[in-house]
Structure 1
Amino acid sequence: MFKFYKMLFLNFLMLGTFISISAYSWFNMWVGLEINLLSIIPLMKSHKNVYPAEAALKYFITQALASAIILFAITMSLNFYEFIPNFSNYWFMMILNSALLTKLGAAPFHAWFPEVMEGLNWMNALILLTWQKLAPMVLIMYNLEMKMFLMMIILLSSIIGGIMGLNQVSLRKIMAYSSINHIAWMLASMLNFKAIWFNYFLIYTIISINIVLIFYLFNIFYLTQLMSMMNTNKLIKLFFIFNFMSLGGLPPFLGFFPKWLVINYLIYSNYYMLSVILIIFTLITLYFYLRITFSTLTISMSETIIQLKKVNLFFLVLSNSSSLMGIIICTMIFNLL
């Protein structure tokens, strides 16, 4: 049943993000982040199990801590110059960026992210994977002065996102570690050309929506459920496999396009080692995506005798088709250019 308060808080969630990214001062930016935080907590509420309360509490404590550090950094930058004349702007930027990266869930500030994801339903998980990354990423882009610090974060996010996803059986944790790996790519796309970041974020959002929609409609949370549920509809199974390959950046799917652009500009800017490490650890994420998809594709399982609920597949087929056609459209545009 649809509840009015959820629509209200969803609007405030979006409003908080827009206030943050369009603010003229650091304090207004902080206010926007607080509105965003206080709006997502009621959205996490659910009567079906007890875990959302735990997830909401973990999320609130982490985000409140990050917000307090942001406020501390802003206050420090305004007042400390009077008392400490040699106080460097470098420390202010490092504290502020660390707090924003904590809000984002980038490694090594990532420990809360998979734990919170595990306690949420799929729609809240989708908000956490996509929309909640928008404000911190744009704010990091605004004060992008510490290239070496950012490169360390990119390397750590790439390594942790790749390796930690290997031994997971929960699909929400797999999506969380996958997201940490994609955060590394998005931060790398900011190093030289900001428009690539927008392309990457948009395509990652489209692919995430397609995958989460399949999980939501079939009520799948673990790999064992995935193998039995996917036998009911062969078209959905095909879309599911294609979307996971796209998320891993396998050509000729749409997810390859932003990765291609990022690698192109990284090499153009002489970030050779960074490119190599990003590619290697993305191949590890691609390995566990393929392991998931091959198990669904090749393991022979009998059809389920449980009568599944009837699902309207029109929107699902439409969104998946547009996503899978994306690479063809991108290729045509490049040929015309």
Structure 2
Amino acid sequence: MKNFHSILFISTLISGTLITISSYSWLSMWMGLEINLLSIIPLLKDKKNIFASEAALKYFIAQALASSILLFSIILSFNLYSYIGSSLTINMILMSALFIKVGAAPFHAWFPEVMEGLNWINGMIMLTWQKIAPMMMIFFNVHLTNFLFTIIIISSITSGILGLNQISLRKILAYSSINHISWMLASMLNTQTIWMFYFLIYTIISINMILIFNFLSIFNLIQLFSSMTFNKHLKIFFILNFLSLGGLPPFLGFFPKWLVINSLIINQFYLLSVLLIVSTLITLFFYLRITLATLIINTNEILIVKHKTNNFLIMTFNFITLSGLLICTLTWNFY
């Protein structure tokens, strides 16, 4: 019965996102978002986690507020266009609602708090699948470039500063997601293809890291440092994936940022590209701090106990992420 409940809500969750993506009107997009919201709330419930209900309630309140603002802007655009005078105000209201849904700064306050109360599988859904529908709606309505520039800059700077003093891995990944949201919004200024590449690679890296965290059952940095001593190859995979998430050049995570920077410079968005690079260096600083601490901190190690670490799914995702930049570079070099 439990499996039937999960399959039912996962299928409606996927259907809601697909309805939003394939719709031709704002009202049907809003309906798809509501189906998606009502489907994920039961999935967030977890008997092993006492904070899951609180996180689900916070998520529902934030998303319901964004949905009501979105519906309000749609009604305004249908009926009261002549009273507003221009579509600028309506577009700003609509885009603000979508930024609340996706968790971009300064509308991000709910996102780390919700992530903190979820298990890793629900957190993976929150970081990846739940971003698709609002991001596509933002892409359909990229008209206010100055407003979008402001959101991009605030998201990149805020995520870097607030992520510095975190010890929870779920909050670190949440602020990292906000930083990647700013890069995704910057990729939407020119073409949808770069956003698709960015989102796909970000999803692969995030799933890979969350599989490692879920496999080791770790949620904060202290657990991370002690758990990694028993899994030498997982420690190396974790470090390389964290650096890939930060966007260092030898790894797959650098490839979409490379495409975004190239696109911004070609279209003469020099200031925006510089601000994105500098803010990403802040996030890369605390990534490096975590990886160096994982390598350097001296912890007790039991040499007798053997832990089973041969997880095929983790190995497969690690092979994809660590060899991805070489494959992408060789593929795109022939065009």
TM norm structure 2: 0.97
How far apart are 1:88 and its partner, in Å? 1.1
Alignment partner for residue 116 of structure 2, among 111, 115, 118? Answer: 118
Percent of residue pairs bearing the same amino acid type: 61
Q: Is contact 2:73-2:93 (8 Å) kept?
A: yes
Contact preservation (8 Å) 1:59, 1:116: yes
Code of the aligned partner of 1:190: M
Q: Residue 262 of structure 1 aligns to a residue in which SS?
A: helix
The answer to whether the aligner puts 1:76 opposite 2:76 as a matched pair is yes
Q: Does 1:92 align with 2:90?
A: yes
Give the superposition deviation at 1:155: 0.1
Letter of the aligned partner of 2:120 in structure 1?
W
User: What is residue 6 of structure 1 aligned with on the other side?
Assistant: 6
The residue aligned with 1:293 is: 291
Q: 2-side partners of 1:102 and 1:30: how far apart?
A: 14
Aligned residue type for 1:207:
I
Number of the residue aligned with 1:232: 230
- Separation in structure 1 between the aligned mates of residue 185 and residue 155 of structure 2, nearest angstrom: 10
Equivalent-residue separation in structure 2 for 1:307 and 1:328 (angstroms) = 37
* Residue 268 (structure 1) shift: 0.8
> How far 1:335 sits from its partner (Å)?
2.5
- Tell me the distance in 1 between the aligned counterparts of 2:77 and 2:166: 42
Contact 1:229-1:304 within 8 A present in 2 as well: no
Distance 1:219 1:298 in 2: 21
SS at structure 2 position matched to 1:221: coil
Deviation at residue 196 of structure 1 after TM alignment: 0.4
Once the 2 structures are TM-superposed, how far is the Cα of residue 300 of structure 1 from its aligned partner?
2.1
Partners of 2:80 and 2:261 lie apart in 1 by 40
Cα distance in structure 2, aligned partners of 1:242 and 1:228: 18
Residue 40 of structure 1: aligned partner: 40
Partner of 2:31: 31
1:64 corresponds to 2:64: yes
- The residue that corresponds to 1:249 in the other structure is 247
CA contact (8 A) 2:231 2:307 kept: no
Instruction: Give 5+ residue unaligned stretches, structure 1.
Output: none
Say which of 318, 321, 324 aligns to 1:320: 318
Indicate conservation of the 8 Å contact 1:228/1:304, yes or no: no
Q: Secondary structure at the match of 1:321?
A: helix
Which 4+ stretches in 1 moved above 6 angstroms? 305-309
Shift of 1:304: 5.0
The alignment of Structure 1 onto Structure 2 pairs a total of residues equal to 335
Question: Which amino acid counterpart does residue 44 of structure 1 have in structure 2?
Answer: L
Which position in structure 2 is the counterpart of 1:54?
Answer: 54
Alpha-carbon shift at residue 4 of structure 1 (Å): 2.4
- Alpha-carbon deviation of 1:298? 1.6
TM-superposed deviation, 1:2: 6.6
**Take 1:209 and 1:121, find their aligned partners in 2: how far apart are those partners?**
13
- CA RMSD in angstroms comes to 1.6
Contact 2:115 2:123 in 1 (8 A): yes
